[in-house]
Copies of this chain bind each other. A is one copy, B any other.
Amino acid sequence: MSKIILKSVMFQGQVRDILISGKKFSKVFRPLTPKDFDKAEIVDCSGLAILPPFYNGHCHAAMTLLRGYADDMPLQEWLQNHIWPFEGKMTPKDIEIGSRLAVLEMIKSGTVFFADMYWHRERTMKVVKEMGIRASIGVTFAQGLMTNEAIENNFKFIKDHKFESDRVKLAVMPHSIYMVGEALFKRCAKTAREEEMILHTHLSETAKEVKDCKKKDGCSPVELMDRYGVLGDNFVAAHCVHLSEQDMALMAESGSAAVLNPCSNLKLNSGIPKIPKMLDSGMLVALGTDGASSNNNLDMHEEMKVASLLAKALGKADILNADDALKMATASGAMAYGVEAGVIAEGFLADALLVDLKNERLNPRHNLVSNWVYAADSSAIHSVICDGKFVMKNRHIDGEEDIVREAEACAKSIASRC
């Protein structure tokens, strides 16, 4: 089993040596012995601090190709005249190129996991495997956009690829209650339960969705999920902007998780998530970035800070403190997706950030977590570790210039054909 020793790394205010054995942290709090150093790769981490990395609970990775393609317009105009025509031209190869830019951006901004809802999943899976991070890759269902055969192929794909890899797992992702009807939604939920998979959907993103649901089904979207038997600890709902207190109680009691995407929700005028009430309800709340066409980045640090600010603005100055905000962006996302990571502790998967303590925004160091959450940005990130391996060292990822160049050429080519 491979061994890495993070030598002289700052952790919780003390300089320590941390041992990673294989994919896990094996010594964090206990002192290392001479035997631990046998055949270990020793990485000098003096001047660096270790922190948990980000787990992005909701995104559409390949949509990085649409970053800045259309902004600042009403939702329907944005979708119909710009986003959909562009997406209509995207080939599987384009999706691979867009996913690669997305994973590059995620690693550089400290993210080691993302949940992805998109098309041509095998391309995104390939990129994630190559680049060394984790993902929960959606088998996406959307009626109207798919033939019955495509839907059946989805279910077949799930059976065939369930145990795809340690780092890349499949999840069942019916798009939303307005794109997937009752029968298919229930079948998705049944499959997810039987195969022990995560079920992920967009839920209560806009006031219109809630209103339409009440009109059609006589209940809120969360209540509809309850009626369908979808709620449970394998259920992760993206957005959840417009939850009632009853909705929150249902989510909390069932062990369901919400993934908030505050930057996207604000930018698209979908609403401001009611973070203080969600926290009060006891439900599991994690964070995501949504796609780069509506954010316009995949920076979980930004979501963490914005979520924390909104919580304080809507509630009180003393809620969602720095430690809790960090947990929301890290361990809570890992927990929602069943990844045993997001905590720097023995027995957990060895995922981590190393931040540069010389960075001006991490100083003075009255409180490193506060500095990281409220003051820093991605410029403080020095290295990123996932699954016991460095996926970025000293701010550089092999081949990054090529990834950026290829994505630029690809996006320009698609745009020229729209």
Contact = CB atoms under 8 A, between A and B. Distances in A.
A296 B292 CA distance: 26
Given A73-B317, A367-B69, A360 B292 contact: no
B108 A312 contact: no
Count copies of this chain in the complex.
Answer: 2
Interface stretch (A28-36, A119-127, A374-382): A374-382
Interface string A240-268: 00000000000000000000001101111
A361 B400 CA distance: 12
A318 B400 contact: no
Contacts of A295: 374-375
A358 interface: yes
Nearest to A316: B269
Which interface class (under 10, 10 to 19, 20 to 34, 35 or more) fits A?
35 or more
24 contacts: A68-B364, A69-B366, A69-B367, A72-B321, A72-B322, A74-B318, A78-B317, A263-B305, A263-B309, A266-B313, A267-B317, A269-B315, A269-B317, A271-B313, A292-B375, A296-B371, A296-B375, A297-B375, A299-B361, A302-B302, A306-B309, A360-B404, A363-B404, A378-B379
A365 interface: yes
Interface string A376-418: 1111000000000000000000001101100110111001000
A309 B411 contact: no
A20 interface: no
Nearest to A414: B364
Nearest to A268: B317
Contacts of A403: 360
Contacts of A412: 364-365
Contacts of A360: 101, 104-105, 108, 400, 403-404
A265 B313 contact: yes
A27 interface: no
B267 A68 contact: no
A65 interface: yes
Contacts of A377: 297, 299, 302, 377-379
A267 B363 contact: no
B317 A366 contact: no
Interface string A283-322: 0000000001001110100100110111011011111111
Contacts of A266: 309-310, 312-313
A75 interface: yes
